[in-house]
Every structure is written in structure tokens, then in C-alpha cells.
Homo-oligomer: A and B are copies of this chain.
Amino acid sequence: MNQKTSKKTSSNKSNYHHGDLRSALINEATQILKESGVEGLSLRKLADRAGVSRTAPYHHFKDKNQLLCTIAEQGFERWQSDAELIFNRDDISAQQKYRVFFHGYIQYAADNPELYDLMFGRTIWKQNSATQALKDVAFPSFQHQVDMTKSWQKQGIMPSNENTLRLSQVTWGTMHGIARLLIDGIYADRTHIDEMCDCAVNLFTRQLSISDEVD
């Protein structure tokens, strides 16, 4: 399929109007992002790929930031549905669930490095440029992590003597840190991801049977 001619069924009168430019832009942008990161995603290249002029995207997104936020939104939604699947499993113990969740988080980041960078990176958050729509998806996702931590503490999987908020910040921080070191190219070797995750989970959940029994 080439861009200029087959917008609508090829013999159509005109393609001055694209028809479904907004979603075409999102798809194309997600693709470019995957290929070359935020740095490689320019609106002009994007417009070109979609077969429209440079400024056409501005009729669907206020600016580049708004487009990026929209893509990040989708990233959160996808991760959240992945996580749901894990939490809803009833074939494994709660402790195993935590382990799978941890692995799943890192795997999601490793599988979608550029998307993860967009979701949690400074491009959006540092300059405080998250749209309301993005916040509405992201904040509950953060909160969910806290809720789950509380539940893991209650179930005796995590130490109950630590403050829940601090504990969830630390455990999330660990996942985030490992993810970042991986996707930013500092841990080059990805074959040890699983071992790293296991090690972390061991540290957070070990020895509970000895000294941190549920009350």
C-alpha cells in the first residue's frame, strides 16, 4: 500500500481529507517510537509517513506533547490489562503472584523500551506536561501499586512493620530502576533478567516465616 493513492478505495475522487488521520497518526507514531525512540519521532516525518502535509497533525493534536501523552496513555492501559490478568489468576499462591507480577513488569519494559521510557520518563513528567487524560490513567496505576503492597503485607508476603507507602515506593523503585538500567543500555546483558528479578523478590519476601509472621 502506498500512501498518496490508497487512502480510500483507490479509484476515489479525492484524498484531500484523509478520513481517519487521528488514529493513523497514533499508529504510525507508535511504530516510529518503537523503531527509533522519542528522539527519532518528529511530527514532520510522521506527517510524511501518513501521507499528509506537515501541519495536518495539528488539527488532531494541540502539539507534539499531546500526541506523546496519548501514546503513553495506551501504554498504561495495555500494562494495566496485562497486570489484571496476573492478579486474577487463581492457580498460583499470592507469593507466586508477586513473583510473576515482578517479572511481568520488567518484561513489559524490556519488550517496549521506548514506550516505557515515554510512560515513566522525564519527557512528559519532568516538564509537568502530562495531559489530564494521561494523569487519569497513570495515577490510579500508581495507586494500585500501593493498594497491592498493603494487601501483600496483610497476607504476610511482605514485612508488615514497614510503612506501606514507603515500602511500595521502594519496591516500585526497584522494578523501575532495573527496568531503566535495562532499557537505557546500562545493563547490556538481558539474559539475566529473570535471575535479577528472582533476587529482588527474594529480598523483599524472604524469611517471613521466621520473624515477620502475620499478626
Contact = CB atoms under 8 A, between A and B. Distances in A.
Contact of A125 (B159, B175, B186): B186
A180 B170 contact: no
A133 interface: no
A203 B203 CA distance: 7
A190 interface: no
Number of copies of this chain in the oligomer? 2
A85 interface: no
A177 B200 CA distance: 13
Contact of A159 (B117, B120, B172, B206): B206
A212 to B, nearest CB: 8
Contacts of A202: 159, 162
Interface residues of A, number: 46
Main secondary structure of the interface of A (DSSP, over half): helix
Q: Closest 9 A-B residue pairs measured CB to CB?
A: A177-B177, A173-B177, A176-B177, A166-B199, A173-B178, A122-B184, A174-B174, A125-B185, A170-B200
A68 interface: no
B126 A195 contact: no
B178 A170 contact: yes
